[in-house]
A and B are shown apart, each in its own frame.
Chain A
């Protein structure tokens, strides 16, 4: 059974770079044909797609965030990473790692989420 686990610092200073890792278990990101995505949710707010990556490295980013977002895949560690640069308080959110079988398919699996707070 596919499991996703987010990890990373829970507190990031304003203007710095937020870094999160999603560790995948139950399948290899290299052998699967899935896309791996990040979605976030600010406190009390709705869901916002950040971006998705294919194991080969092809990426799709939210147009409103793409100037600050970088996603990568480490097939040797079976991990997906997310970096968001120049963070502000508006980037405070629970960040979810997800997976979807095609770029347009829904997210069938989700991690439990990781809360990241941006402090001034």
Chain B
């Protein structure tokens, strides 16, 4: 099965830029979606189809892909951005399934 690898943690000072990566061979051929999850809450979609932002998500959030790596970028980081972030793709191979990344804890210093 395909694996999506994320760094376990990213630390960033308020006002700076956080970059969260998601790596895997499948990314070269599939769209990537990103979720934000705060403690005790359900995940919230913050980016879909690589770089589209759902309504209500600040423009500070952006997404991109290059080769086998997708990146979620949070500009001008705020304390409220502290959360876990997960990437996700739909693997339409022999046994289709959603695949989630390993998750990244973003800490705002």
Could you tell me which A residues sit within 8 Å of B by CB distance? 37, 39, 46-49, 52, 60-64, 96, 103-108, 110-113
Contacts and interface: CB of A to CB of B under 8 A. Distances in A.
Given A104-B90, A108-B54, A112-B42, A47 B96 contact: no
Contacts of A47: 35, 37, 43, 86, 88, 100, 103
Q: A-B pairs with the 10 shortest C-beta distances?
A: A49-B98, A106-B33, A104-B90, A110-B42, A63-B95, A47-B100, A46-B103, A106-B48, A62-B97, A106-B45
Contact of A108 (B45, B86, B97): B45
A72 B67 CA distance: 38
Contact of B42 (A52, A61, A64, A113): A113
20 contacts: A46-B86, A46-B103, A47-B35, A47-B86, A47-B88, A47-B100, A49-B97, A52-B98, A60-B97, A61-B97, A96-B43, A103-B90, A104-B31, A105-B48, A105-B90, A108-B54, A110-B43, A110-B44, A112-B42, A113-B42
A46 B100 contact: yes
Interface string B28-42: 000101010100001
Contacts of B43: 47, 96, 107, 110
Nearest to B84: A46
B102 A46 contact: yes
A103 B100 contact: no
Interface residues of B, number: 25
B1 interface: yes
B86 to A, nearest CB: 6
A101 to B, nearest CB: 10
B66 interface: no
Contacts of B103: 46-47
A36 to B, nearest CB: 13
Contacts of B95: 63
Nearest to A60: B96
